[in-house]
Amino acid sequence: MGGKDGLVHVSEMRNERVEKVTDVVSEGMDVKVKVLEIDPRGKVRLSMRVVDQETGEELEDTRPPREKSERSDRGPRREGGGGGRGEGRGDRGPRRDGGGRGEGRGDRGPRQERSEGGNNGGGDPDHVPAFLKD
């Protein structure tokens, strides 16, 4: 395709489940693919599972077509992401202290509830940074 790159999703490598990509391919390996789609941004989706890797002949697609899901039927998205592998922390990965919500809080100890009527953190009221005292 004139030096154009494309991606083969792990689900498009074989008709059966693939645990590890390296079970099927290795870096630098030549494979035969079929172009499934080129999206409006130019992203190329490829499939290995519908091409005979020996002959290059196109194979019949035996999987039923996937229905396109609309996000609207899943309800509104929560603020802050919430859940998933990163536990709502964007794409930074899991916490180093091993903790999720409320557990493994490092050496800070348990979370203290905020008192009503003020935002001094529940600590000593005389503990005010020097730049705020003036």
30-79 pLDDT, tens digit each: 999 999 998 999 899 999 999 999 999 999 988 877 776 665 566 666 76
User: Which residue would you say has higher pLDDT here, 110 or 43?
Assistant: 43
- The average pLDDT across 120-126 equals 56
Mean pLDDT of the chain: 74
Rounded Cα distance between 62 and 48, Å, is 13
**Neighbouring residues of 77: CB distance < 8 A, sequence distance ≥ 6:** 71
pLDDT at 23: 93
Domains and CATH numbers, the chain: 1-62 (2.40.50.140)
Verdict on whether the full-model pTM lies above 0.75: no
Strand partners, 51: 58
